[in-house]
Amino acid sequence: MAKKRGRPSVDSESINLRLPRELIQALDDRRRIEEDLPTRPEMIRRALVEWLAMTGDNGGHQE
């Protein structure tokens, strides 16, 4: 069987999100504090995981 092209399949789902410019600026400001300068999507994932942990729900996320 020939190799498949493109990204490998993962157990995830893509979402499209619109944010006010002020929120994007705040997100970018916060990203710059991180040592590894995460991408916007990664920073949103980190914020969501942190928020879920604070509310006592990990959303099925394993770290």
Q: What is the pTM of this model?
A: 0.73
pLDDT tens across 26-51, in order? Answer: 999 999 999 999 999 999 999 999 99
- Residues 26 and 43: beta-carbon distance below 8 Å: no
Task: Compute the distance between CA of residue 33 and CA of residue 16 in angstroms, rounded to an integer.
Answer: 25
Residue 10 pLDDT level (bands cut at 50, 70, 90): confident
